[in-house]
Amino acid sequence: MPLLRTLKQFCGALIASMVIFSQGHMQAAEPVVRVLIFSGQNNHDWRATTPRLKSILESNGRFAVEVTEHPEQCEAATLQKYDVLLSNWNMFGSPTVTNWPPAMRAAFLDFVRRGKGFVSVHAGSSSFYDWPEYQQLAGGSWKPGQTGHGPPHEFTVKLADANHPVTRGLTNFVTTDELWHRTALQSNVEILATAYSAPEWQGTGKDEPVAFTTQFGQGRGFNLLLGHDTKGMDSAGFQQLLCRGVEWAATGKVLAVKNQLLLR
């Protein structure tokens, strides 16, 4: 009986310790990153790629994601609920929306300038060519008559800055995607990753940027030119850069454990 009583006391103490540890761990956990995806208009298949982006982020476990198909209707009160905005939206082709109201423009810039983030995927930054602040924040976009690409093909993405929080701990990886060349870059970009644009794939014979960052006020921009379609988004390398870039744009750091995996 004394032995049984001792075992019960030990088990009770162990369970109590586990509960305390669990509660402390939960309290110390980083808050979820709140993401709003701009969608509803794009010269690419946004009806397929927007759900894929949402799924990738949510499966990471770090993000709570919502989608709007009418970013032009957002206002300051709408945006303040989020930590980062992700654009899968542009004005190429025959867009229904050709501008944002002045109030939305002001709210958008103020959102980032005060310390939050903006992320663009593939052609998500290719809008508002007459809006210098938007171009500065996006860091790069498609420039008609200059930017181009060959057909989707396999290529290697190489880290240009392995010490940035977005890329730290990652390695080069192979993907199959559309590779832009002669992207119109702003002077304030920090290039994180490139890929060789092979002449046999209608390329330039040069390394071209595929991921880069900007600073805007106290906030941050991350532009990922990969992700032409859902096949390109299936790449583990794309998903790592996306999740890490979104987290960094939102918070200025990358903490998620799942993001620390090395790419082979």
Question: Could you report the per-residue pLDDT of 170-212, keeping only the tens digit for each?
Answer: 999 999 999 999 999 999 999 999 999 999 999 999 999 999 9
pLDDT for residue 231 is more than 80: yes
**Domain for residue 80, yes or no?**
yes
Measure the CA angle with vertex 214, ends 210 and 218; round to 5°: 155
**Domain for residue 173, yes or no?**
no
CATH number of residue 214's parent domain: 3.40.50.880
Q: Give the C-alpha separation, 38 to 208, whole Å.
A: 26
What's the domain count of the chain?
1
Instruction: Show the beta-strand stretches assigned E in 124-205.
Output: 140-141, 148-149, 153-159, 173-177, 180-181, 184-185, 190-197
**Domain for residue 7, yes or no?**
no
**Domain for residue 168, yes or no?**
no
Q: Give the C-alpha separation, 183 to 191, whole Å.
A: 12
**Domain for residue 27, yes or no?**
no
The residue type found at 141 is S
Q: What is the reported pLDDT for 256?
A: 54
Instruction: Show the beta-strand stretches assigned E in the chain.
Output: 33-38, 63-68, 84-87, 117-121, 140-141, 148-149, 153-159, 173-177, 180-181, 184-185, 190-197, 206-216, 219-224
Q: What is the reported pLDDT for 18?
A: 45
Going by pLDDT thresholds of 50, 70 and 90, the confidence category of residue 2 is low
**Domain for residue 38, yes or no?**
yes
**Domain for residue 3, yes or no?**
no
Q: What is the reported pLDDT for 109?
A: 98
Structural domain harbouring 63: 33-142+184-194+209-260
Going by pLDDT thresholds of 50, 70 and 90, the confidence category of residue 30 is confident
Number of Cβ within 10 Å of residue 10's Cβ equals 10
**Domain for residue 18, yes or no?**
no
pLDDT for residue 8 is more than 80: no
* For range 79-84, the mean pLDDT: 98
Report the relative pairing of strands 173-177 and 153-159 from DSSP bridges: antiparallel
Residue keyed to tokens 């988004």? 233
Residue 175 C-beta-side C-alpha neighbours within 13 Å: 32
